[in-house]
Amino acid sequence: MAGGGPTLGGAIGHRVVTVDEVFSYAWNVWKENLGLLVGVTFVVMIISGAAGGATEVIEQAALQAGGLGMYIIVALACFVGEQVLQSFLWIGQIQIFLKLARGQRAEFSDLFSGGPYLLPMIGIWFLMTLAITAGLVLLIVPGIILALMWWPTYYLIAEGRCGVMESFSIAGRITQQNWGAAFVLFILSILLIIAGLLACCVGVLFAAPLCGMMFSVAYLMMSNQIGPARQF
């Protein structure tokens, strides 16, 4: 396995969890660190929005200057650039979530500490997108199964637990007998984001970090790194 990252904890194990214990733990951590979590989410939204706006301007300029061919090339380059940026920010967010869930001190600067894991995270994103898309094309169910089985790969990579290919087998062991809980957490996350959007969109600043904390806690509990009760 790769060397330890900023949020590296105990050995990777396995435990069957319930949605109640995951949500209760995540809710408490979220409440205690609301200022930091909302601040980080706000900055990520601003950066992402600015990147999206810049992309649109660049693409339109390419279309006017070079026609459709130039537009396609520039659009693809901008898409890759946005995915790199989102991967970088996602690593930082995961590291913050995991530190807080473990009772460790997290700082705003952790959001920009994802450099060492950027290339593996991009690799995971590409392979996961390819596999899940193919599964969804094949009657949808296989894609859902792959998502429920492999979602911890992002967390394993973000804290330097293992390499890209190894992360899939480890994630499969972590999620064994935990597919049902993960599915409910996915549905709950969707409902929370919808509720946040209905609250004049401002609610997303609160809902998004809660969703991130839920899955970070689920990863730590399913891999038996923390228990259902907070003991720190």
pLDDT in tens, the chain (232 residues): 333 344 445 689 999 999 999 999 999 999 999 999 999 999 999 999 998 888 888 888 887 887 888 878 888 888 888 899 999 999 999 999 999 999 999 999 999 998 999 999 999 999 998 988 888 887 788 888 999 999 999 999 999 989 999 999 999 999 999 999 999 999 999 999 999 999 877 899 999 999 999 999 999 999 999 988 665 4
Answer yes or no: is 10 within a domain. Answer: no
pTM of this prediction exceeds 0.85: yes
- Kindly state whether residue 179 falls inside one of the protein's structural domains: yes
Residue 5 lies in a domain: no
> Within a domain: residue 7?
no
Residue carrying structure tokens 């003991």? 231
Domain that holds residue 157: 19-222
Runs of H (alpha helix) within 102-178: 118-137, 141-150, 153-158, 164-174
Q: Residue 209, SS3?
A: helix
Tally of structural domains, the chain: 1
- Residue 75 in any domain: the answer is yes
